[in-house]
Amino acid sequence: MIDTYRGIRAAQLGMLVNAALAAIKLVAGITGNTYALVADAVESAADIVGSLVVWGGLAVAAQPADEDHPYGHGKAEAIAAAVVAVMLVGAAVGIALESIEGIVVPHAVPAPWTLAVLGGVIVVKWAMARRVKSIGVGIDSTAVRAEAWHHLSDAVTSAAAFTGIAVAIWGSRWFGGTWWASADDWAALLASGVIGVNGLLLLRPALGDLMDRMPGEEIVAPVRAAAERVEGVLAIEKLWVRKTGLVYEATAHVQAAPTMTLFEAHELGHRVQDAIHTAVPAVGLVTVHMEPFDEARSASS
């Protein structure tokens, strides 16, 4: 519950920051004659929706299992991560289309003071990305990590706009001509590609969680080792692990001596569960299925 609370607080902070930045960028973009800032403001407004999605997903995922959801509500966290990733891809497409329009249609050179606004935005969003990412890694939340990338993508688009506006201002002053005014649009177009790729990269682990994809050996290997160390366990025939919300679920087929009584096998199964919980606290539900030892089957598993 503490881990979920940290993730929700990160989403709430992101909402407040994005709301403030959206207002600042919108006013600066309109008065400073730069569409890049106006588009950035729209993206920050969309980021508020993303933070709401993460907040809601974590809140639902934290709910305990009930009669209708005996396995809990953990999938809500992966759904939230997938939604945020799709929003990133959508934002990238939107920025690309608006950038192309800005390149085609001539417009005035932005005001120089808008660079100061963008500089502040870049610092704030970069700091937010680092903070939220550390929380996401700490609680192993796909949704919170997606939220961190959302903050970073905003910093990337702001940095691209900063570069483009600077080129537009200095290029028009030093060399003249109307071509330089579209430099910020070219920079935004490049940034949209980076954001789109990051969105697709974030979508993969979210879909993996939804499809019950096995995690890496950093989780599976300690679970297997803990089970194998329990006295009386002769082999682990099968081991399945999946991520549900902020925890993992494991199912193990444990082979033991065929002469064991039902009571002894039951007690051994409980010891395996306890060993896995102790060795890998990130694992929540552990289901143990007891099997009679079969050397041929254990060798092939």
Q: pLDDT of 34-85, one tens digit each?
A: 766 776 777 677 677 777 787 788 788 878 888 888 888 888 888 888 888 8
Query: Strands 283-292 and 247-256: what pairing?
Result: parallel
Same domain? 17 vs 136: yes
**Could you say which of 168, 185, 210 is where a domain stops?**
210
Same domain? 148 vs 249: no
Which pLDDT score is estimated for 2? 46
Whether 88 contacts 198, CB under 8 Å: yes
Same domain? 161 vs 241: no
What range defines the domain where residue 59 resides? Answer: 2-210
Q: What residues are paired with 292 via a beta bridge? A: 256
What average pLDDT does the segment 253-273 reach? 95
**Burial, 285: exposed, middle or buried (Cβ in 10 Å; 0-12, 13-18, 19+)?**
middle
Same domain? 10 vs 105: yes
Highest mean pLDDT of the ranges 78-92, 140-154, 198-212, 226-240 = 226-240
- Give the C-alpha separation, 81 to 58, whole Å: 10
Same domain? 22 vs 59: yes
Give me the number of domains the chain comprises: 2
